[in-house]
Structure 1
Amino acid sequence: MNLMAKNKFHDGPGPSQRQLRVGELIRRTLAEVLARGDVHDPDLNRLSITVGEVRTSPDLRVATAFVLPLGGQGQEGVLKLLARNKGELRRIIGKKLGLKFSPELRFQLDETFDRLEEARRMLEQDDVRRDLEK
């Protein structure tokens, strides 16, 4: 395999192993910090927040956390609280993980559960069930 083909293989559309590993470390740490209430914001500490996934940029400078409040209530409020505390969360994560550069944190709603529920509803429809049984 020539060098050009090898580089194309590694620059594929998906995240690198390093991005996946760092993203998962950040996800676990962020979930732990939020669950224990390590942030100095009583409004944020009052909430139960699920951190479903963290995706990092190729240079690991930006980490996007996909979050959802327990029960799905108050989603916009949760995003505002997390944004308000992202500096402190960034410092805590950087300190706990010992990363050379602590990534900028961004927060988005995790819509995975909504998509799963929609797929489940579609599969329960009579016409879809009939097609699947054939």
Structure 2
Amino acid sequence: MARHHTTSAHGPSQRQLRVGELIRRKLSEVLLRAEVHDPDLNRIPITVGEVRCSPDLRHATAFIMPLGGGQRQEALTLLRRHSRELRHLVSQDLTLKYAPDLRFELDETFDRMDETRRLLNEDTVRRDIVGDDGADEEADD
């Protein structure tokens, strides 16, 4: 008998990744073409960084960031307000049994990258990375 494993311990399945990427592309197209009938939403350029799907593909969380990083809360509020319309527009070209419920969260990866870059540039960290002679310690290996 085959053992049934849940994918939560192993990460997302190939199907979840594939469907998430399809939803990301379609959602980006919908937002780019301003297909939602809301001038407030259409005036904010929004980047869709990633879409994560639940294992049953009924829920999809889109991680978004307004271009330039401003108006984050406004963009998030507007997307959440129009989630049903966006769900309908996104699911038109998808060949899924169910149209996934769209949820929206802010994409924090850019903030984390900036924080990591800031930490790596601190004097105490740079001292550990760079050896006494000014060369990287990894070069000695």
Q: TM-score, normalised by structure 2?
A: 0.87
Q: Residues 94-123 of structure 1, C-alpha deviation per residue, up to 9 Å, x if partnerless?
A: 102232211000000000000000000011
Task: Give the Cα separation in 2 of the matches to 1:46 and 1:27.
Answer: 20
Unpaired segments of 5 or more residues in structure 1?
A: none
Q: Residues 19-44 of structure 1, C-alpha deviation per residue, up to 9 Å, x if partnerless?
A: 00000100111011101111111111
Task: Give the Cα separation in 1 of the matches to 2:11 and 2:24.
Answer: 18
The runs of at least 4 consecutive aligned structure 1 residues that moved more than 6 Å come to: none
Which residue does the alignment assign to 1:22?
19
- Helix, strand or coil at the partner of 1:38: coil
CA positional deviation for 1:125: 0.9
Q: Residues 63-113 of structure 1, C-alpha deviation per residue, up to 9 Å, x if partnerless?
A: 000001111111111111001111110001110223221100000000000
CA positional deviation for 1:3: 3.1
Which residue does the alignment assign to 1:121?
118
CA positional deviation for 1:13: 3.0
Task: Give the Cα separation in 1 of the matches to 2:7 and 2:28.
Answer: 30
Unpaired segments of 5 or more residues in structure 2?
A: 132-141
Count of aligned pairs between the two proteins: 131
Q: Structure 1: which amino acid aligns with 2:11?
A: G
Taking a change above 3 Å as real, the CA distance of residues 49 and 18 of structure 1, as seen in their structure-2 partners, is: same
CA RMSD, 1 decimal = 1.6
Judge which range, 8-17 or 40-49, deviates more.
8-17
Sequence identity of aligned pairs in percent? 60
